[in-house]
């Protein structure tokens, strides 16, 4: 897999939206013209007199609106020509005037003058009218309108053998009527309704003669295995025999009829065996339809495929052979006529293959007959013929033709439909596997539900094909279907763990023990294709449906599951899904995901440091100003000016956050705190000294600094911050439950100590706080006593107050306080167990919001201040060198001039370390620097954590061991010459190795969660049933490991014996 790719050409969002608005205006103009013309035609039909209507129709057909409408349609045809191969549609179909033409043809006797004006005006003599795709000749044949048939046959561009949707020609329809007229007595009733006159055999014969004189062919296949001449042969009267003789005299060559051979199979025969058989494409199609493959291959040698009949060869022969799964015939056609069928058109200079696919893909060649070849690969996949599919893929080099249909998605859906037929399903899956490995298949193509091939493979459980797809370029994991689901939502942890393990590799040119360079493949996080797709501009109706916060919301899937529908994708979308999923969250500590997050986080570190420093300076200046103002009543000019500058900085910072987060700005408590702090600063600066407000502001600043410290690239600080937030929130929620109880004690203390009938005034009662003198003092005193500060020596216990005091001691400090402390301790324990996942999840949330906000940032100069997307300037491979302090290296992609981006590849740049300090001017290049303090070494570049590096090396060792065992097994068993047993043993070995890997991973995960040694974990679990299960898993893992060791040992012994 190559690592080179061109940086995407940035198209301004404003240009895209303006283009979409212009197209929308043209669509509206076209719709208005169509409606006005349809109304005008309806007025023509409303005229009772044909002459009056004819004059109106002639005037209407000369209207300039048809010319304007024609130009609009021709322009719209070219809007998507680079991405699709559209079916050729007539002008009448595009303007929705076919119903009016059908109305006239159904009553051709009345509207004959209209038709003679209408059909030449739009060249509709061969118009295929939906839904049955009948041409005017079909309508005339059904109506037995001889004069109209003569008029149609006189037209120079008439296709006398045109077929409708049931593959019936006009001649076949006449033969059906002839058969029904002679043999079915009820035919006269139907004919009366159609023709308004009794059906006559002579009229049908006359129509047949007309068609035969103008080249109508008897040897044409229809929807059923019925041939036209067979219908004429059913009647054995002398009159009919004479008519048959007349038809054979007009028709040149032998006439095909159906016969039954010795095996009672329907085969192709001829009416007059002595007649000369003229081999035509239509006759060869009959051989295919009657499954006479040997006869077809013999006769096809005679056919001369040239530019005049190659289109018919493709439509009638190649498509039919592929559809009927006749592999030999397909190969014969391709071998004999492949050069004509797959003829290449010289590509236009500068023409791109596909606007949503990369420019630097291998060269593609446009085929001349791409329209006729359309749908051929789809038929081969539905039949499950992998040989035919491979043959066609080898000859079709036109990528637009290959990907005109989402062929891989269709194949996977077909395999799912065949879940009850294992043999057919296996064949279809073979086709899907071949397509998944082919570089010409675009993985971005979707079906009607928005599912890519990766969606479908994971949804239906085809994990092997999914892994093959994930090895291809541009297999982005964050693409969503119409159900707002990504491929990550369709598979569980085990599958994604296996995929990310495959993304950890080493250089194959190095030996087994040389692991100084570990490569991490980030291809699944690169939204190279999907982020360039156009975003539809929301209209006024759409704006009311935006995902804004509301008190009352619609119960849609996106609102309920907290998965908002997104108009574009970012690099962090897959990582955010992993972080939000309970099952997949463990993947955050996988070397591939962890390194990707770390590299992206370090690119924003400088802004975290700058924000922290500026906030500290602002706090210092505000404190200086407050002390100075409250000391002598006025402040000096220096702290005042510096504090105003700090306030302006904070306002600017919040404005940037609003531009980044938009409506999500008000979704966090920290932003409300920032707004309150700024407001308090302005009040203090405007009104002078206010000690209470200044004190509260400094406390709010301290909370901000604590939050900013948590955003620094240190996992322990982020974990402590999360502990603080969680414990504070849980304490408040728990304390709310006991407020009624504490309020009742407050009331009791206030009432009992202020009872004038029983209390006597003493000098000690001068302090109202100790004697619960006011209700506010009683509430505060009760809250203080809850923490354990009783001052029992100063409490009056007379008059039964001791009972209230004892009850208070039991409920408040003993029960409530200890319960809340216990909850806090349990929260801290749970957080410590998941500390690393929690800190990484917080980083993922911040990074995803940053990237989404940067994409929507309206101010260009602010976008330039922040780093762009990682994959726009870097390769999707990251290198880690374990022997060089575990340094992380990224490969930059050099920028090219805008004029050259279309035609040239972006060259690979140098490998560079990632600085872990702001600026990074000391760590240019791939070597990097570190500060040597003798007792410790401090690198100036980013390094991978020890345990993550160990996990990456373990994955590499495991993959190498599996490959070596499989290769040695394949070589040994191949030497014995038993291929079938070799495949079986290799499959068993692979399953055993996967089983051992899963057991070891599970035990490692359990050990990491508890934080204890494996021995202690085993002793704790052996007390119950779960301990027995764990011991059994240990035993199985040990058994498999011993078997692998024994296998390698035996292999060495055999090699020694051979020597």
Q: What is the pLDDT of residues 502-512, one digit of tens each?
A: 999 887 655 55
Which of 970, 818, 874 is CA-nearest to residue 528? 874
The kind and range of the H/E element at 207 are helix 201-213
pLDDT digits (tens, 9 = 90+) for 827-863: 777 777 677 787 788 888 888 888 887 777 777 777 7
User: What is the model's pLDDT at position 899?
Assistant: 42
Say if residue 354's pLDDT is above 80. Answer: no
What's the pLDDT band for 169 if we cut at 50, 70, 90? Answer: very high
Peptide bond into 131 cis (omega under 30): yes
Bridge partners for 890 per DSSP: 878, 912
First to last CA, the chain: 39
Which of 92-106, 561-575, 834-848, 966-980 shows the highest mean pLDDT? 92-106
DSSP classification of residue 766: G
Q: Average pLDDT for residues 713-719, to the nearest whole number? A: 66
DSSP E strands, 690-801: none
In tens, the pLDDT along 305-328 reads 999 899 999 999 999 999 999 999
List the strands of the sheet with 908-913, edge to edge.
Answer: 504-506, 518-521, 874-881, 887-893, 908-913
Least confident window among 84-93, 768-777, 1045-1054: 1045-1054
* Helix axes of 422-437 and 376-383: crossing angle, nearest 10 degrees: 140
User: pLDDT for 794-818, tens place per residue?
Assistant: 666 666 677 877 887 888 878 887 8
DSSP letter for each residue of 330-342? HHHHHHHHHHHHT
* Residue 1026: per-residue pLDDT: 46
- 545 confidence band (pLDDT: 50, 70, 90): very low
The residues pairing with 344 across neighbouring beta strands, listed in sequence order, are 367
What does the pLDDT read at residue 1002?
58
For the ranges 345-349, 452-456, 1019-1023, the lowest mean pLDDT is seen at 1019-1023
pLDDT-derived band at 905, boundaries 50, 70, 90 = very low
List C-alpha distances in Å: 418 to 407, 568, 575: 17, 35, 34
DSSP 6: P
DSSP state of 800: G
- Range with the lowest mean pLDDT among 111-115, 397-401, 436-440, 764-768? 764-768
**Strand 256-260 to 518-521 pairing:** unpaired
Rounded to whole angstroms, the Cα distance separating 1027 from 1016 reads: 12
Asked if 524 and 639 touch (Cβ cutoff 8 Å), the reply is: no
Give the mean pLDDT of 566-571.
73
Domain ranges of the chain: 131-252, 279-341, 604-713, 733-821, 949-1058
CA distance 656 to 654: 5
pLDDT at 701: 86
Given a contact cutoff of 8 angstroms between Cβ atoms, the answer to whether 678 and 881 are in contact is: no
**What does the radius of gyration of the chain's CA atoms come to, in whole angstroms?**
41
Per-residue pLDDT at 125 exceeds 90:
yes
pLDDT band for 513, please (50, 70, 90 cuts): low
Mean pLDDT to the nearest integer, 455-467: 92
Most confident region among 8-17, 773-782, 919-928 by mean pLDDT: 773-782
Residue 192 pLDDT level (bands cut at 50, 70, 90) = very low
Provide the percentage of residues in the chain whose pLDDT is more than 90.
25
The answer to whether residue 112 scores a pLDDT higher than 90 is yes
H runs (alpha helix) in 418-520: 422-437, 453-459, 463-470, 493-502
Distance CA 622, CA 640 (A): 8
Let me know if 12 is exposed, middle or buried by CB neighbors in 10 A (0-12, 13-18, 19+): exposed
Contact 787, 818 (CB under 8 A): no
* pLDDT at residue 660, rounded to an integer: 79
What are phi and psi for residue 135, nearest 5 degrees? Answer: -90, 165
Least confident range from 76-80, 585-589, 798-802, 989-993: namely 989-993
Kindly report the number of other CB atoms within 10 A of residue 319's CB atom: 19
pLDDT mean across residues, the chain: 78
Task: Supply the pLDDT for residue 293.
Answer: 92
Question: Taking 80 as the threshold, does the pLDDT of residue 1049 lie above it?
Answer: no
Residue 924's nearest CA partner among 934, 936, 909 is 909
Q: Per-residue pLDDT averaged across 78-93, rounded?
A: 78
Contact 293, 320 (CB under 8 A): no
pLDDT level of residue 978 (50, 70, 90 thresholds): low
Specify the pLDDT at position 9.
42
Query: Residue 114: what pLDDT?
Result: 93
Question: What integer pLDDT is reported at residue 507 of this predicted model?
Answer: 72
Q: What is the mean pLDDT of residues 186-215?
A: 70
The arithmetic mean of pLDDT across residues 399-426, rounded, is 90
For residue 825, pLDDT over 80 is answered with no
Q: pTM to 2 decimals?
A: 0.75
CA-to-CA distance for 532 and 354, rounded, in angstroms?
12
Task: Kindly tell me if the per-residue pLDDT of 391 is higher than 90.
Answer: yes
Closest C-alpha to 488, from 591, 588, 600: 588
Under the banding of pLDDT at 50, 70 and 90, the label for residue 385 is very high
Q: In this predicted model, what pLDDT tens digit does every residue of 131-150 receive, in sequence order?
A: 999 999 999 999 999 999 99
Please tell me the CATH code under which domain 131-252 is placed: 1.25.40.20
pLDDT tens across 650-693, in order? 898 888 888 877 777 777 778 888 888 888 888 888 887 788 88
For 113-124, what is each residue's pLDDT tens digit? 999 999 999 999
- For 150, counting Cβ atoms within 10 Å of its Cβ (0-12 exposed, 13-18 middle, 19+ buried), the class is middle
DSSP 3-state of 138 = helix
Cα gap 135→159, rounded to integer Å: 9
pLDDT-derived band at 869, boundaries 50, 70, 90 = confident
pLDDT of amino acid 1: 35
Using one digit for the tens of pLDDT, what is the confidence trace for 222-244?
A: 877 788 998 898 888 888 889 99
pLDDT for 426: 92
| Distance, CA of 813 to CA of 808 (rounded, Å) | 8
**How many other C-beta atoms lie within 10 A of the C-beta of residue 406?**
23
What angle separates helix 946-976 from helix 979-1010, to the nearest 10 degrees?
Answer: 160
Please name which of 708, 640, 645 lies closest in space to residue 674, comparing C-alpha atoms. 708
Peptide bond into 400 cis (omega under 30): no
On the question of pLDDT at 37 being above 50, the answer is: yes
User: What distance in Å separates the CA atoms of residue 669 and residue 436, rounded to the nearest whole number?
Assistant: 48
Question: What is the arithmetic mean of pLDDT over 947-971?
Answer: 79
């Amino acid at each position: 897999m190559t690592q080179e790719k061109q940086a995407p050409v940035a198209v301004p969002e404003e240009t895209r939206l303006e283009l979409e608005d212009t197209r929308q205006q043209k669509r509206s103009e076209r719709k208005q013209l169509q409606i006005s013309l349809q109304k005008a035609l309806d007025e023509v039909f409303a005229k009772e007199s044909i002459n009056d209507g004819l004059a109106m129709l002639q005037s209407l057909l000369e209207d300039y609106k048809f010319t304007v409408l024609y130009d609009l349609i021709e322009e719209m045809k070219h809007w998507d020509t680079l991405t699709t191969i559209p079916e050729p549609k007539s002008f009448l179909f595009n303007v929705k005037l076919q119903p009016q033409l059908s109305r006239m043809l159904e009553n051709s006797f009345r509207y004959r003058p209209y038709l003679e004006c209408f059909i030449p005006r739009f060249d509709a003599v061969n118009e295929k009218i939906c839904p049955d795709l009948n041409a005017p000749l079909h309508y005339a044949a059904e109506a037995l309108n001889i004069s109209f048939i003569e008029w149609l046959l006189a037209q120079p561009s008439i296709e006398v053998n045109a077929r409708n949707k049931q593959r019936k020609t006009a001649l076949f329809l006449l033969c059906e009527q002839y058969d029904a007229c002679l043999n079915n007595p009820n035919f006269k009733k139907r004919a009366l309704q159609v023709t308004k006159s009794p059906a006559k055999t002579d009229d049908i014969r006359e129509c047949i003669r007309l068609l035969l004189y103008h080249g109508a062919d008897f040897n044409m296949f229809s929807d059923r295995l019925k041939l036209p001449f067979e219908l004429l042969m059913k009647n054995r009267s002398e009159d009919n025999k004479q008519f048959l003789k007349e038809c054979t005299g007009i028709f040149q060559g032998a006439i095909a009829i159906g016969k039954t051979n010795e095996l009672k199979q329907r085969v192709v025969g001829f009416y007059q065996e002595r007649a000369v058989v003229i081999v035509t494409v239509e006759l060869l199609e009959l051989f295919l339809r009657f499954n006479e493959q040997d006869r077809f291959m013999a006769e096809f040698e005679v056919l001369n495929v040239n530019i005049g009949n190659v289109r018919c060869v493709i439509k009638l022969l190649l498509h039919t052979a592929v559809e009927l799964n006749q592999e030999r015939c397909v190969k014969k056609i391709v071998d004999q006529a492949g050069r004509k069928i797959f003829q290449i058109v010289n590509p236009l200079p500068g023409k791109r293959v596909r606007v949503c696919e990369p420019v630097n893909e291998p060269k593609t060649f446009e085929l001349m007959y791409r329209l006729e070849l359309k749908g051929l690969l789809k038929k081969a996949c539905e039949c499950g013929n992998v040989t035919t599919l491979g043959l066609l893929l080898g000859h079709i080099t036109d990528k637009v033709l290959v990907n005109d249909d989402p062929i891989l998605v269709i194949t996977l859906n077909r395999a799912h439909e065949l879940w009850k037929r294992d043999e057919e399903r296996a064949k279809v899956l073979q086709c899907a596997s071949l397509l998944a490995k082919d570089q010409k298949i675009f993985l971005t193509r979707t079906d009607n539900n928005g599912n890519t091939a990766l969606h479908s493979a994971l949804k239906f459980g085809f994990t092997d094909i999914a892994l093959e797809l994930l090895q291809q370029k541009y297999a982005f994991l964050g693409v969503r279907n119409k159900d707002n689901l990504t491929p990550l939502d369709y598979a569980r942890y085990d599958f994604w763990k296996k995929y990310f393990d495959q993304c950890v590799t080493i250089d194959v040119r190095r030996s087994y023990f040389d692991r100084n360079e570990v490569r991490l493949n980030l291809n699944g996080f690169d939204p190279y294709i999907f982020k360039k797709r156009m975003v539809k501009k929301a209209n006024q109706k759409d704006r009311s449906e935006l995902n804004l916060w509301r008190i009352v919301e619609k119960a849609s899937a996106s609102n309920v599951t907290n998965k908002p529908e997104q108009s574009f994708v970012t690099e962090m979308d897959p990582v955010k899904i992993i972080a939000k999923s309970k099952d997949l969250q463990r993947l955050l500590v996988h070397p591939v995901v962890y390194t990707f997050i770390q590299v992206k986080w370090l690119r924003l570190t400088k802004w975290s440091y700058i924000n922290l420093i500026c906030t500290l300076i602002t706090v210092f200046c505000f404190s200086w100003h407050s002390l100075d103002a409250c000391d002598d009543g006025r402040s000096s000019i220096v702290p005042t000016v510096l504090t105003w500058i700090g306030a302006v900085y904070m306002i600017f910072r919040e404005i940037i956050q609003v531009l980044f987060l938009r409506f999500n700005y008000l979704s966090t408590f920290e932003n409300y705190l920032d707004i309150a702090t700024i407001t308090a600063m302005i009040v203090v600066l405007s009104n002078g000294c206010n000690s209470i407000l200044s004190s509260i502001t400094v406390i709010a600043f301290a909370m901000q600094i604590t939050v900013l410290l948590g955003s620094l690239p240190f996992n322990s600080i982020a974990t402590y911050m999360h502990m603080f937030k969680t414990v504070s929130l849980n304490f408040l929620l728990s304390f709310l439950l006991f407020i009624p109880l504490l309020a009742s004690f407050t009331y009791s203390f206030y009432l009992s100590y202020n009872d004038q009938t029983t209390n006597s005034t003493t000098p000690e009662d001068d302090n109202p706080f100790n004697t619960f003198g006011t209700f506010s003092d009683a509430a505060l005193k009760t809250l203080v006593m809850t923490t354990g500060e009783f001052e029992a020596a100063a409490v009056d216990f007379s008059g039964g107050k001791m009972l209230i005091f004892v009850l208070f001691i039991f409920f408040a400090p003993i029960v409530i306080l200890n319960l809340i402390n216990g909850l806090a301790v349990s929260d801290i324990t749970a957080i410590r167990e998941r500390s690393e996942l929690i800190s990484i999840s917080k980083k993922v949330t911040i990074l995803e919001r940053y990237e989404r906000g940067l994409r929507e940032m309206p101010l260009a100069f602010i976008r330039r201040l922040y780093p762009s997307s990682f994959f726009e300037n870097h390769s999707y491979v990251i290198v880690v060198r374990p022997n060089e302090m575990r340094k992380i290296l990224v490969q930059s992609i050099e920028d090219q001039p805008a004029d050259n981006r279309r035609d040239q590849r972006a060259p690979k740049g140098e490998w560079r370390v990632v600085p872990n300090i702001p600026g990074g001017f000391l760590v240019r290049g791939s070597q990097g620097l570190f500060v040597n303090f003798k007792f410790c070494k401090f690198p100036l570049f980013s390094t991978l954590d020890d345990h993550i590096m160990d996990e990456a090396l373990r994955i590499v060792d495991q993959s190498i061991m599996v490959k070596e065992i499989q290769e040695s097994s394949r070589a040994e068993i191949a030497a014995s010459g038993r291929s079938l047993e070799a495949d079986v043993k290799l499959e068993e070995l692979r399953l055993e190795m996967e089983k051992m890997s899963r057991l070891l991973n599970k035990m490692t995960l359990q050990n990491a969660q508890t934080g204890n040694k494996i021995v202690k974990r085993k002793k704790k679990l052996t007390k119950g049933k779960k301990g027995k299960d764990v011991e059994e898993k240990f035993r199985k893992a040990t058994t498999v490991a011993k078997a692998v060791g024994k296998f390698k040992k035996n292999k060495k012994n055999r090699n020694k014996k051979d020597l």
